[in-house]
Amino acid sequence: MRYFEIEMKVRDYECDAQGIVNNANYLHYFEATRHELLESCGVHFSTLTDNKIYPVVRNISVAYKHSLRGSDRFLSRIRLGKDGLKYFFYQDIYRLPDMRLCVRGIVETVCIIDGKASPQTIFDEALKEYFE
């Protein structure tokens, strides 16, 4: 199955007093990766918002396996699935350079247009190569 990935790096302010990345910040990494994936397919998130198309997160499950620390580099990888109006983003974070799996998440989103979940034609088209 085809995947998309970007390299990122922990910023020190993302760590808390334990010296490790705070659990909430991985959701920020996940989101940044989804938006990069969209951009790589020609869809800019801000354009969606400007057009009142609101992709929203419905469910998230995250397994924290190993902590990232200040300045760690990591790979944020994403695969896609779809079921009706729901998109599923399977998101893994691997520490570099040893490729240790740190966090694994599943993010379920729907697209809200005029206040209700709607077919995401724009996504279906842009992301089609990731569903093959």
* Residues within the interface to a second copy (CB under 8 A): 11-13, 15-20, 22-25, 27-28, 31-32, 35, 39, 44-46, 49, 54, 56-64, 67, 69-71
Residue 75 to residue 78: CA distance in whole angstroms: 10
Least distance (Å) between residue 25 CB and a second copy: 7
Give pairs for 11-18: CB < 8 Å, separation 24+. 12/70, 12/71, 15/69, 15/70
Q: Based on CB atoms, which residue is closest to a second copy, 41 or 60? A: 60
Nearest to 86 by CA among 48, 114, 52, 117: 117
Least distance (Å) between residue 39 CB and a second copy: 7
Residue 83 annotated as catalytic: no
Q: Based on CB atoms, which residue is closest to a second copy, 23 or 100? A: 23
Task: Please say whether the beta carbons of 4 and 37 come within 8 A.
Answer: yes
Q: Based on CB atoms, which residue is closest to a second copy, 39 or 124? A: 39
Task: Please say whether the beta carbons of 21 and 10 come within 8 A.
Answer: yes
Least distance (Å) between residue 35 CB and a second copy: 6
Q: Which residues are catalytic?
A: 16
